[in-house]
Amino acid sequence: MATHAGQAADAPAADTTAFDAVVVGAGFGGMYMLHRLRGMGLRVTVIEAADDVGGTWNWNRYPGARCDVESLEYSFSFSEELQQEWTWTERFASQPEILAYARHVADRFDLRRGIRFGTRVRSAHYDEAQAQWSITTDRGDALRARFCIMATGCLSLPRMPDFPGRDRFGGRLLHTATWPHEPVDFTGLRVGVIGTGSSGIQVIPMIARQAAHLHVFQRTPNFSLPSGNRPLAGDEVAQFKARYPEVREKARHAPAGIAGMPAPDRGALDDPEERRREVYEAAWRNGSTGLTRAYNNLLMDEAANATAAEFVREKIRSIVTDPAVAERLTPRDHFIGTKRICLDSGYFQTFNRPNVTLVSLRETPIESITEAGIRTSREEIPLDVIVFATGFDAITGALLDIDIRGRRGLPLAEKWRGGPRTYLGLMTAGFPNLFSITGPGSPSVLTNMITSIEQHVDWIARCIHDLAARGARSIEADPAAEDGWVAHVNAVADQTLFPRANSWYVGANLPGKPRVFMPYVGGLGVYRRRCDEVAERGYEGFILDAPAAAVA
């Protein structure tokens, strides 16, 4: 393995099949991993199924798509020049702007020459004798690498429920996560949107403005807060940029990886009702997801949570003019925040429009998709376009979509049959030199993902560097350390209300998926310290250079 900075990293070489590292995915995770490993002088290639960088922001091009972490924080911190030269125009950047940013990063750091686009990794098998990964793609590539790094994304495998008759539909079928590259014009069309998670809640107001009529097919009502999105003023951006070093440092140690969201110091029931309402009202007016972090026990204590949930229910009733529609839109089946909270721009207001109809699938379930539209238990609704906003096989989906095999040919799918098992969300025992960026068991989707991505990439880069310095060929999780981490992840989650919701955090959105709370809820700051300590103690809980088949 090359270890010296400045060495020809992924420059054209005689052998285009042998690498120090193969990275799968060119979203923010894969892009930064490439940059770091290249800087260490490694031969690295990135394989990306899409035609461009950006991952999430290249795939999810539906109208209304934007981030819910403020743009000034939802961006890379690793380069001072980058963060100073890029200027965000809105408090919550739109998908086109975030994609433009990803492309800028790719160009600025000359990443594209290290990425094979339009290529999907099909398998990754560990060769114990050689201590190498063999990787194959849908284009017939067969690559070998010491390290295989999965930057495949937590929300990258879209899920399209298999309603009877789906393929018979005579109109256009769209999924928010595989949106066409050219804009879709809904003018004059009869449109149906299935799903009212974050994607549905963003796309519905946009389609309603264009369509002749929009039917919203809602299975479970969701909590949503006003985003408070607005243009950013030039001086505001300049002042923020001037504070970047301090802001980023704060974010790295904050529970959610966001400097503007420090941990609150009091519980909801510590305040009298009047004061509590003022706090919620201020958070509502301010926008963002702050309301669910207004008190430190909202996600721990049922009674505390009920105060915030009821506040939002009242808001829904005050916005939606038809009381029967308001009632159908009111979430009652989960604690607020235990399913990913949604941020919207006029979502509930949309149901006051004469061209929008809410169809509650709890009352009238979808029976089939017909050639002409959607048939519920009550009627057939004629449609020109059906938009699936039905989400993802989250966190484990993209990993298990690849045929990954570790020691003795053990398939990852078999090892994770009862749910994912990892040490620190970084590695899984029996799969040496296989890392995952924001993998299950790490804070990932409960944080600003870019802060978490940087933390994982930096840790992996340091680990690979340290292995080379010691002359070690491999690293893998010790099964006992893994058991301990899985138990810890579950114990921390069980102290919260999170596992009780039927969310994608627990895989409840997919029939048959094992019910396991997948992200680490202990907070990014705490988690970062733990990862750093592990490295400083000589990779405690990992086995370096285990002989072939030595690890169970």
Residue closer to ligand FAD by CB (options 258, 467) is 258
438 binds, among ligand N01, ligand FAD, none (CB under 5 to 8 A by kind): ligand FAD
CA separation (Å) from 180 to 59, 183, 387? Answer: 8, 7, 12
Residue found by looking up tokens 């010296």 in the block:
4
539 counts as binding ligand FAD under rule CB under 6 A = no
* Cα–Cα distance measured from residue 302 to residue 336, given in angstroms and rounded to the nearest whole number: 10
Q: Give the Cβ contact number of residue 185 at 10 Å.
A: 8
Cβ pair 406, 214 in contact under 8 A: no
Q: What is the 3-state secondary structure (H, E, C) of 453-496?
A: HHHHHHHHHHHHHHHHHHCCCCEEECHHHHHHHHHHHHHHHHCC
426 binds, among ligand FAD, ligand N01, none (CB under 5 to 8 A by kind): none
CB 289 to ligand FAD: min, Å: 9
> Site for ligand FAD (CB under 6 A): which residue of 10, 19, 22, 30?
30
Residue closer to ligand N01 by CB (options 42, 395) is 395
| Binding track over 236-275 against ligand FAD, x by CB under 6 A | ----------------------------------------
Residue found by looking up tokens 């949570």 in the block:
305
Tokens coding 116: 């094979």
CA separation (Å) from 437 to 23, 322, 441? Answer: 10, 46, 11
Distance, C-alpha 131 to centroid of its chain: 31
41 binds, among ligand N01, ligand FAD, none (CB under 5 to 8 A by kind): none
Tokens coding 191: 């449109």
Residue closer to ligand FAD by CB (options 27, 221) is 27
CB 110 to ligand FAD: min, Å: 18
- DSSP secondary structure string, 225-247? EE----BPPHHHHHHHHHTHHHH
47 binds, among ligand N01, ligand FAD, none (CB under 5 to 8 A by kind): ligand FAD
Residue found by looking up tokens 């002409």 in the block:
372
Cβ pair 51, 120 in contact under 8 A: no
CA separation (Å) from 382 to 43, 322, 378, 386? Answer: 55, 24, 13, 10
* Cα–Cα distance measured from residue 393 to residue 413, given in angstroms and rounded to the nearest whole number: 14
List of residues contacting ligand N01 (CB under 6 A): 67-68, 155, 161, 176, 194-200, 202, 219-220, 340, 343, 361, 389-392, 445, 504, 509
CB 302 to ligand FAD: min, Å: 27
Please report the sign of the dihedral spanned by the C-alpha atoms of residue 463, residue 468, residue 472, residue 473.
positive
What is the 8-class DSSP label of residue 60?
A: -
3-state secondary structure of 167: helix
> Site for ligand FAD (CB under 6 A): which residue of 72, 121, 124, 457?
121
340 binds, among ligand N01, ligand FAD, none (CB under 5 to 8 A by kind): ligand N01
| Binding track over 403-442 against ligand FAD, x by CB under 6 A | ----------------------------------xx----
> Site for ligand FAD (CB under 6 A): which residue of 21, 43, 61, 68?
68
CB 440 to ligand N01: min, Å: 15
3-state secondary structure of 87: coil
Residue closer to ligand FAD by CB (options 151, 501) is 151
28 binds, among ligand N01, ligand FAD, none (CB under 5 to 8 A by kind): ligand FAD
449 binds, among ligand N01, ligand FAD, none (CB under 5 to 8 A by kind): ligand FAD
| Binding track over 150-179 against ligand FAD, x by CB under 6 A | -xxxxxx-----------------------
Q: Residue 284 belongs to what H/E stretch?
A: helix 273-286
Cβ pair 514, 417 in contact under 8 A: yes
104 binds, among ligand N01, ligand FAD, none (CB under 5 to 8 A by kind): none
Residue closer to ligand FAD by CB (options 74, 435) is 74
Residue closer to ligand FAD by CB (options 100, 269) is 100
Residue closer to ligand FAD by CB (options 60, 229) is 60
Binding site for ligand FAD (CB under 6 A): 24-30, 47-50, 55-56, 60, 65, 67-69, 74, 120-121, 151-156, 199, 398, 402, 437-438, 448-449, 453
